[in-house]
Amino acid sequence: MPSKLLVATGNEGKLREFKKVLAGVCDVLSPRELSLLLRNVKEGTNYAENAVLKAKVYSDQFDGLICGEDSGLEVDALDGRPGPLSARYGGEDTPHTEKCRLILNELKDVALYNRTARFRATIALVDGDNVETFEGTLEGWIGFEYKGEEGFGYDPIFIPQGFSRTNAELGMVIKNRISHRAKAIGKLAEYLRNR
């Protein structure tokens, strides 16, 4: 089992999730904690490409295991949008509250049974030239209004299957147990334990 893992993200919410799920497996470090230069990453065409690119951007600054993660919201009524472009949907500098409202507006005439959606996460573990990927999904649907204060991103409009409240209303304990990212990190944890 490795002792240290660099998670190539500046997103504190994602970092907390990695640290929680990987507790006891390895020490999760962020670029900020190691005073590494944060770098912009060229975009790929899908989650796996983006995750690999995010990890590899630090390979010249960190000698060890690095993982990158890319995730997004896929709304069936919007032909899978925003997908890998979730973070930039509606404009790169648009606040997430506005991104959520944009999707709610696009779905304003769509009935509940056609509002199916999923969160998808892909993690890429880079070890020199070796790359392993791990995926997790969380099925659900898009609600009719913005609800909840916990979570981040599209959590206030996404209702996971088996629940009647949004991710942002469920709270971090439940969200971290069921989330797409937690599922992908769980697969990563199992892989790391068996290395």
Distances (CA, A) of 128 to 55, 132, 143: 11, 11, 43
Question: Which pLDDT value is given to residue 2?
Answer: 62
Q: Span 66-79, mean pLDDT?
A: 96
Domain harbouring 96, CATH code: 3.90.950.10
What's the average model confidence in pLDDT over 89-97?
A: 89
Q: How many CB atoms lie within 10 A of CB 7?
A: 26
- Which residues neighbour 64 within 8 Å (Cβ) at sequence distance 6 or greater? 2, 4, 5, 6
pLDDT of residue 128: 86
The average confidence (pLDDT) of the chain is 91
Cα 174 to Cα 189: distance, rounded to the nearest angstrom: 19
pLDDT score of 1 more than 70:
no
Catalytic amino acids? 70
Number of independent structural domains in the chain = 1
Residues 49-61 have a mean pLDDT of 91
Highest mean pLDDT among 18-22, 43-47, 57-61, 160-164: 160-164
Give the pLDDT confidence score for residue 75 in this predicted structure.
98
* Structural domain of 90: 4-193
Instruction: Give the angle subtended at the CA of 40 by the CAs of 34 and 42, to the nearest 5°.
Output: 130
pLDDT at 13: 80
